[in-house]
Amino acid sequence: MTKYIDTKITDKETEHSLPVLDGTMGPSAVDIQTLYTNEDMLAFDPGFRSTASCKSAITYVDGDEGVLLYRGYPIEELAEKSTFEEVAYLLMYGELPSETEYAQFTDTLGDLSLLHDQVLSFYRGFRRDAHPMAIMVGVVGALSAFYHDRMDMSDPEQRELAAYRLVGKMPMIAAASHTYHIGRPIRYPRKVLGYAENFVQMMFGKPHVEYEIDPILVRALDRILILHADHEQNASTSTVRLTASSGANPFACMAAGIASLWGPAHGGANEAVLDMLTDIGRVENIPDAVARAKDKKDPFRLMGFGHRVYKNFDPRATVIQQSAKEVLNHLGLDDPLLEIAMRLEEIALEDEYFIERKLYPNVDFYSGIVLRAMGVPTNMFTAIFALARTVGWVSHWLELTAEPHGIDRPRQLYVGPTLRHYPK
Ligand code: SDX
């Protein structure tokens, strides 16, 4: 007889009740920690669709209502009124910084934005055509070799220093992944510049000519960084938390997060969106692409559509769609891929298949258009996502390491061979 779990499980001898935990917002959670001990039974949830892996106070997502809050503040308000540095402080510390706190925060990030000169030699070990994400996974993981002296994670000060080093150095690591790839000298950050501004000058600046920073593009990038900074327990953040639970050092944890983000179903989607739009090529080819996306025999998916949590519009997509139009107008660009994107969105949103499955454009659908308009090469899109999400990963890492609960170790429903012995 199948036993169903609800707030009480009963069997012949004993009866156990499972407490229901309430958060400050969103769904409650049935606390099943005693399930295995008391009932010798596991909960089965392979995609974690119905599983809360932890308690967190950082980001709240309501997929049905299309709501995203960073420490309680709506993403739309932060994208319009805040800066990435201020959002980074908010995610890491839980409150918006005072003027003094903001000045100290940005000053420390600036002081720690330089890479150890020997780290730069790692870049030369990569083939020139290495994907920037491959370089970032390697270089970020290798930072453990440079800061092993200050790696006592039970010390809050050393945890904070590691967090600052990661957030501070990521722009140079990401930008250097691009300049190395194209054979241009790696550039250094300038402390006088803001976070997004510095990344832009390290990405696009050349040693032999003065680089004029376009404030409109910097603002667009700053907004993209804000929108991508955190997103509760997504695959890469959960990877960081699982890695951190074993006590691995913060640089190894972030390298694991970068590796997970790289997948096309996750952070790699923005690059995949551009590749898809390029393959579609013309508005006339959209119906065929939509038909392929609906065909179960065809592995093709509409990149940039759908989301594990959002079954409504991704609020970030709405903000980025506006950014895409602003940047293209500012640059006087008439990007045919944006036209294909807008038409594809229209067609998909009218199609029963997408409506029925609540498949809406997600943040990645438009971010690639903005980045492409800014002259960012497609293979750098996910690297920029990683640059932004480092703040989220670091914030979750700080939250977990402040109150470590021991190693995370999921179980399984075993469906393999039963006991058998080696033939004599
Ligand atoms: C990000 O988790 C996060 O928070 C992630 C992120 C973040 O900030 O960290 O928001 C960033 O990763 C955004 C998502 C970017 N990925 C893509 O755009 C890739 C394309 N999208 C799909 O791969 C898919 O939608 C997922 C992976 C995003 C979500 O997949 P789900 O929730 O597991 O959905 P599903 O596979 O259960 O699909 C439900 C149905 C299926 O059809 P049926 O079996 O019911 O007939 O919808 C279909 C799927 O085939 N479907 C799609 C589709 N996505 C789902 N069909 C065509 N095109 C798609 N994109």
pLDDT single digits (tens) 347-369:
988 999 999 999 999 999 989 88
Coil, helix or strand at residue 247: coil
Whether 364 is catalytic is yes
d(CA 48, CA 19): 20
What tokens were used for 400? Answer: 């977990």
Single out the catalytic residue among 364, 405, 408, 421. 364
Single out the catalytic residue among 178, 266, 314, 396. 266
d(CA 269, CA 385): 10
Q: Do the Cβ atoms of 97 and 88 come closer than 8 Å?
A: no
Write the residue with the smallest CA distance to atom 11 of ligand 1.
266
Q: In this predicted model, what pLDDT tens digit does every residue of 300-335 receive, in sequence order?
A: 999 999 999 999 889 999 999 888 888 888 988 888
Dist. CA 27 → ligand 1 center (Å): 21
149 half-sphere exposure, CB direction, 13 A CA radius: 1
Coil, helix or strand at residue 73: strand
Query: pLDDT-based confidence at 167, cuts 50/70/90?
Result: very high
Q: What residues have CB less than 8 Å from 386, skipping those under 6 apart?
A: 133, 136, 170, 174, 257, 258, 261, 267
Coil, helix or strand at residue 124: helix
373 half-sphere exposure, CB direction, 13 A CA radius: 30
pTM for the model: 0.93
Q: Do the Cβ atoms of 348 and 305 come closer than 8 Å?
A: yes
Query: pLDDT-based confidence at 7, cuts 50/70/90?
Result: very low
Count other Cβ atoms within 10 Å, centred on residue 260: 19
Write the residue with the smallest CA distance to atom 39 of ligand 1.
357
Single out the catalytic residue among 178, 228, 307, 396. 307
Dist. CA 306 → ligand 1 center (Å): 4
Q: How high does pLDDT run on average in the chain? A: 93
